[in-house]
Structure 1
Amino acid sequence: MTIATLIDRSMPHVTFSATTGESTIDLASRELGDYVLFIYPRTGRPDRPEPAEWSAVPGAKGCTAESCEFRDLIGGFRALNFSVFGLSSQDTEYQREAAARLHLPYPLLSDPDFTLADELGLGTFVFHGVRLYSRTTLVVRGGRIAQAHLDIADPKEHPHQLLDHLKHGAEHTVER
């Protein structure tokens, strides 16, 4: 897959369990409107120390910080008529704990089978024998991918950069 192949591609009809009241969310549903889907490897838990080598994996560290920045900026995204969703391969129960602890006002979606990765050719990696998503953000407008952001170097700053980018009306962007 090349990044350019994502732009203007329709979101596939894939349905995921969510941490909010919806039982499932179909990312191709027109009812979702425009949205930002940030995809991350995994969130940590305070009661489970992360392995030291986790920090050495490019793009792995920073999932909690990224989630909290999207939380803190949600009003700006909503002002631009964008919903926000987070997605990882972690199960819904695990993600419910993170969503409650971090006070997230948007759903976290669970894709333990890597359905979206397989449908769109999104990046994954293996850490300690576990397959995880590579950090990616997709901006979806009218059911089509308008922007794709990969290899996000600073997950804490990325939501700020993305919001600024959207405020200034950038369309059909590929970032690497």
Structure 2
Amino acid sequence: MNQKNLLEVDWSKIPAPTDDGAAAHLKGMTIPAIDLVATDDSSVTLSALPGRTVLFAYPRTGEPGKISLVDDWDMIPGARGCTPQTCAFRDLHAELKAAGAAHVFGLSTQSNAYQTEMASRLHLPFPVLSDEKLLLTRALDLPTMDIAGLTMIKRLTLIIDDARITHVFYPVFPPDRNAADVLEWLKESPAS
């Protein structure tokens, strides 16, 4: 399937992911001291960041006009929607910061080079982190899916307060609503 338009999706035709319990263990966990490369050419250690961090993870963003990873990508529950989710966080970035997010990051297992192109193309005001070596994914036992020989993080969002996970959004559907849901939660749950 050719990915002509990554942003216009009829969510009623896309299967929603179910809560398989794969993220139930995350709330209360401490983020390990793992350095991840970011699209702004920095190295980020989430455990060292003070304050509240919003970290949204997704399987993989596509490229306009490129062929999908697999023909039935859209029919894999939770696969479709990485670009709409990322753009929603971009569009609400200022409001997320105003609601108490000291840091906002995207996260996927895609390479930094791939993510850097995407971040530039989508004009992201926040860095995207690469967990290409699956260090954070394995350390936290994040929910994953294996497709076409690649291990990808299932879509979720973590609220991290001073290196501790205080809230988990999982499963996330539809993806383009995730940023608004996070913003509403931030407003209702100010950091202590």
TM-score by length of 2: 0.83
Spell out the pairing of 1:10-89 with structure 2 (5 A cutoff).
10-22=30-42, 24-31=43-50, 33-50=51-68, 51-82=70-101, 83-89=103-109
Q: Of 113, 116, 126, which residue of structure 2 is paired with 1:106?
A: 126
Q: Of 155, 164, 176, which residue of structure 2 is paired with 1:135?
A: 155
Q: Secondary structure at the match of 2:129?
A: strand
CA distance in 1: counterparts of 2:144 and 2:29, whole angstroms? 20
Residue 21 (structure 1) shift: 4.0
CA distance in 2: counterparts of 1:91 and 1:2, whole angstroms? 24
**Residue-pair matches, total:** 169
Residue 136 (structure 1) shift: 1.2
Runs of 4+ in structure 1 over 2 Å off:
1-5
Alignment-derived partner of residue 174 in structure 1: none
RMSD: 1.6
Alignment-derived partner of residue 6 in structure 2: none
Residue 101 (structure 1) shift: 0.3
Q: Which has the higher strand share?
A: 1
Alignment-derived partner of residue 110 in structure 2: 90
CA distance in 2: counterparts of 1:68 and 1:30, whole angstroms? 24
Q: Of 138, 142, 147, which residue of structure 2 is paired with 1:118?
A: 138
CA distance in 1: counterparts of 2:99 and 2:83, whole angstroms? 24
Q: Secondary structure at the match of 2:183?
A: helix
Identity within the alignment, %:
37
Task: Return closer, same or farther for 1:140/1:129 CA change in 2, 3 Å cut-off.
Answer: same
Q: Which runs of 5+ in 1 are unaligned?
A: 172-176
Q: Secondary structure at the match of 1:165?
A: helix
Q: Which runs of 5+ in 2 are unaligned?
A: 1-20
TM-score by length of 1: 0.90
CA distance in 1: counterparts of 2:98 and 2:173, whole angstroms? 26
Deviations 1:13-33 (A, max 9, x none): 1111100142x10010134x3
CA distance in 1: counterparts of 2:155 and 2:182, whole angstroms? 14
